[in-house]
Each structure stands twice: as structure tokens, then as C-alpha cells.
Amino acid sequence: MRAADKTLRRPGQLIAAGLVPEDRRAELAAVAARYAVAVTPDMAEVIDPADPGDPIARQFIPSRAELDRRAEELADPIGDDAHSPVAGIVHRYPDRVLLKPIDICAVYCRFCFRRETVGQGRALSRAELSAAFDYIRAHREIWEVILTGGDPLMLSPRRLVAVVSALATMEHVKIIRVHTRVPIAEPARVTAALVRALKAAGKATYVVLHANHPRELTAKARAACARFIDAGVPMLSQSVLLRGVNDDAAVLGELLRTLVECRVKPYYLHHGDLAPGTAHWRTEIAEGRALMRTLRGRLSGLCQPTYVLDIPGGHGKSPIGPDYLHVRGENGSACCEIEDFNGRRHRYPPQPGER
């Protein structure tokens, strides 16, 4: 039996696996009736049920707090719908689009910004996929297509080949980017056939791994990443800043270093989106900025992601990291001071005698 067949999806399965106590059955059932639940055997192995604050469990095991929705939270927190001209396409930026061929994931992150739509077992129909390709084909400004969802690596290699082959016929599309949790959640899916399915002549393929805690990068997950990288597919990472998971400089630093050791370049650190029922994971922006300041200069530049906020309403991502440039004066009398990683300021250009 495949590992995927043993994925834990119901409260009784989570309880039987020893991941949660019996007295939480009603709580789990209430959340599972609202949002999709899935914990793969690989993720279940990493969870420490004896630790009530386990950072892996916190990401994947349902919590009653998910049913507490705040006024500022939105069903579509980053405005996908406002930029979706046809089913499966989100065209927010001029030179790139999201293509969402499937809404299924190997695991369902409890803080997911698409939690209102993922997990319904739906893939684009043949007609919808054809219309999505027609849209990309007609918009020659599109340089990059980002496969997301859901998790595109839940598609079979055969179906991935069909998607990538269609994109390969479009001369103006140069980059294919894949956003995924699969190498962590179900590393056995990353077979040689799946890796081959993502490659197309004349196109550069990148895989972006979603990882939030260093314990997610098990030996099997590292081997799955290596299968991509050794085949010539570069990997980046994106993480979400989550209270009780990685909102600590030591933990976040270990995650970023571990990713780089795996030859995965940290790309984005996302501030938590305003998805329904996710307030208990969200940090304050000031906390994120302080964390990034702590890491600057103390970790290699290879380990530095860009801290970003996806502006609600579909206005795109903006960097919100700490500032190091300070301008004094105005117009012709203005001068700059640059702050180093120790917090000391230095005038630029330096005046005679200043160094």
C-alpha cells in the first residue's frame, strides 16, 4: 500500500495514531467539518505528541482556535479572485501568472491562505485547462508560469508532463516555477519520473519548497530535494512566520541554515495572511522585522530571505524588512547614514577623517 493511502484525514485516525487525545475528538470534528485535514505518515513521524507545543503538530493538527474568525480576516486574503480572468489562472503581476491545476495537497497547513478552497478534491477540467493555456498563449508578456494550487506535485508524472509540454510550446514562456510541500510531506512521490516531468527543453524550471521548521527537513526530505537538484532543477524556499513555530531567532536561523545546507536558497519569509481562523499563528510585523534584523550579519547572506507581506485585496507582495538607510536633511543638504548589523550608524560617503 502506498504511503498516501495511509494519510490521516479523520479525527478518529488522528486519535488512533496517538497524535491527539480522545477528549479532543469533538473539537477535531468541528474543525474538520469546516476545513480540510490531512497528515501524511511522514509528517506524523515528525510530530512529538508528548509536547503540547510541538511546532510540527501546531502546523498540521486541527485546533479549536481555527473556528474563531476575526473581523479583519478574509476568505480570499490576497485577492486571488480579483485577478482570475479564467478558471485556474491568477494574473496579478505583468510578467507572470499562477496556474492552479489542482486544489489537493499532501498535507493541509492549518494556516493556509487558500483554506477556503483547497482540499475539495477538484482539478481543472480538460476544457478549463485548455482555456488556461489559451490565456497564457495569448498574453505574450507572460515570462513565468508558477504552478501552485493545491500542490501541483500531487499530479501524476503523466499529467505533469502534459502541463509542462503545453507550456513548452509557448515561446514567450521562459520560466516554470513549482510551489510545493511534497518533498517534505510525502518525499516518496519525488521519483525520477516526476523530476523528468518538470523539465522541458528551452525552459528553466525552479522548485520552491514550503518549509517552516528545521525538523521538517528529515533525511527523506533532504534526499527528495537532492533528486531535484542533482537533476539540474534549482530549488528555493518560502516560509511563513508562525507564532509558536519559527518566531524565534535561533529556530528560524537553524531552518535557514539547514535549507542552504540542502542547497535550497531561502527566498521568501511571508508575514501571516489574514485567512479566517489564523490569528493564533500571526505575529506582529514589528516582531518579524526584529527577527530579520537579528539574522542580518549573523547568518550568511545565502540564508537571508526577503520578509514580505501580501497586501490584502490583491495588491501583491511588498518587502517589509527592517530599514538600514537613514537620510538626514533635505534636498542638497541631505546626507545618508547606513546602519551596520551591530546597530552602529556610519555616514555615507564618509567625511574626511571618518571611517
Q: Is 96 a catalytic residue?
A: yes
The one catalytic residue among 76, 112, 181, 265 = 112
In the 3-class helix/strand/coil scheme, how is the chain assigned residue by residue? CCHHHHCECCHHHHHHCCCCCHHHHHHHHHHHCCCCCCECHHHHHHCCCCCCCCHHHHHHCCCHHHHCCCCCCCCCCCCCHHHCCCCCEEEEECCEEEECCECCCCCCCCCCCCCCCCCCCCECCHHHHHHHHHHHHHCCCCCEEEECCCCHHHCCHHHHHHHHHHHHCCCCCCEEEEEECHHHHCHHHCCHHHHHHCCCCCCEEEEEEECCCHHHCCHHHHHHHHHHHHCCCCEEEEEECCCCCCCCHHHHHHHHHHHHHCCEEEEEEECCCCCCCCCCCCCCHHHHHHHHHHHECCECHHHCCEEEEECCCCCCEEECCCCCEEEECCHHHCEEEEECCCCCEEEECCCCCCC
Catalytic residue among 273, 293, 303, 307: 273
Catalytic residue among 42, 76, 247, 310: 310
Residue 112 known to be catalytic: yes
Say how far apart CA 59 and CA 170 lie, in whole Å. Answer: 38
Dig out the grid coordinates for 50 from the structure. 508528548
- For the question of residue 323 being annotated catalytic, the response is no
Site of grid cell 475528538: 25
Active site residue: 35, 58, 109, 262, which one? 109
92 is a catalytic site residue? yes
Q: How far apart are CA 291 and CA 242, in angstroms?
A: 12
336 annotated active-site: no
Q: Of 24, 100, 105, 115, which one is the catalytic site residue?
A: 105
To the query of whether residue 93 is one of the catalytic residues in this protein, the response is: yes
Is 114 one of the catalytic residues? yes
Catalytic residue (one of 93, 122, 159, 203): 93
Catalytic residue among 58, 92, 181, 293: 92
247 is catalytic: no
Catalytic residue among 34, 64, 96, 296: 96
Q: Given the residues 159, 203, 220, 317, select the one marked as catalytic.
A: 317
Phi, psi of 140 (to 5 degrees): -75, -5
Active-site residue, selected from the candidate residues 114, 215, 265, 282 = 114
The overall longest dimension of the chain from CA atoms, in Å, is 74
State the Cα–Cα distance between residues 226 and 37, nearest whole angstrom. 28
Residues tagged active-site: 92-93, 96, 105, 109, 112, 114, 273, 310, 317
